[in-house]
Amino acid sequence: MSDAQKAKDQEPTTTDSAESVTTTKQTKRSLPEKDSSNNGNDNEQVVESKRPKSVSPFDDLKISDDSILDTVQGRTNCSQCNKSVKYFCYRCFNVVGMDRSEIPSLKLPVPLNVIKHELELDGKSTAIHAGVIAKNDVNIYNWQNIPEFQQPERSLLLFPGPDAKRLDEIPRDSFDRITVIDGTWKQASKIARETPQLQRMQKVTIAPRKTHFWRYQQKSDDHLATIEAIYYLYREFAEAFEGSYEDGRYDNLLFYYRFFYDMIQDKYRCQQGSKKFTQRHRSDYIQYDGKS
């Protein structure tokens, strides 16, 4: 299961994360994986002769090289559930189409629970990225099937509001788990409001940041995608409790997120601005001229 809002904003700030890959090369990329309910149609593929070198909002992060993902040409059956997927299985969190050793892994300092609304399609959930990259430390539950958590008061719930605190205001020994809600803004508000266990958790918030999410939303651009919110929360955890964040230790939470962001930028940039990303999205979302 991003994320930061002003105290008066009662809506959640999550929806539903090495070198930046900006070198010129032959590449073949496809749009991000969609849910299998798409009548079996494969994702549209975009073939580029060269990928232009451009400024990326992820350039300063230490995210592992993702060029292995460019070699994936189609779907592969998950070895566990046999579902046909691309890049990873969003039910089992298994890497597919390549060896697991070719994808970065992370150990999170605090385990993560993601509470996912049933109407949030698996193939559109960015929280799944955390489940793949930090598989041993992430549990994702459908809202209607969440377990009875032991000592929910010892979990932090990433959710804005007047009673939400920043991590540096919360004693480290007061929590041993983090919980994030994954869904649309409306869905997440309902989950937080109608789940007694979540109401017993300590609310935490993060500093406002600009989203790079590619899906249109009728919210300001400081409403983050779920994986963005997860990433920034663990980054602030490092700053509050681990001394500093100079080594970028949790940057790979954005490994798949950056890949899909770059994929979409490449798709529209190669058309020289002749095709608009969407009339509803902010006008400068696609960096046609390579500017940040």
Q: Would you say residue 66 has pLDDT above 90? A: yes
Instruction: State both tokens at 249.
Output: 């230790």
Q: What is the mean pLDDT of residues 92-101?
A: 95
| pLDDT tens, position by position, 216-257 | 555 556 678 899 999 999 999 999 999 989 999 999 999 999
At a CB cut-off of 8 Å and minimum separation 6, what does 270 contact? 46, 48, 52
| pLDDT tens, position by position, 283-292 | 555 454 444 3
Band of residue 16 on the pLDDT scale cut at 50, 70, 90: very low
How far is Cα of residue 266 from the mean position of the Cα atoms in its chain? 19
Contact 213, 224 (CB under 8 A): yes
Q: Is 159 exposed, middle or buried (0-12, 13-18, 19+ CB in 10 A)?
A: buried
Q: What is the mean pLDDT of residues 36-51?
A: 40
Band of residue 39 on the pLDDT scale cut at 50, 70, 90: very low
Q: What is the mean pLDDT of residues 255-280?
A: 74
Instruction: State both tokens at 69.
Output: 């993902």
pLDDT of residue 54: 60
Q: Would you say residue 9 has pLDDT above 70? A: no
Q: Which residue has the higher pLDDT, 15 or 224?
A: 224
Q: Would you say residue 101 has pLDDT above 50? A: yes
Closest CA to 257 of 134, 110, 130: 130
CB atoms closer than 10 angstroms to residue 164 = 20
Band of residue 11 on the pLDDT scale cut at 50, 70, 90: very low
Global pTM reads: 0.76
- The percent of residues in the chain predicted with pLDDT above 90, rounded, is 55
Q: Can you tell me the distance from the alpha carbon of 131 to that of 114, in angstroms, rounded to the nearest whole number?
A: 9
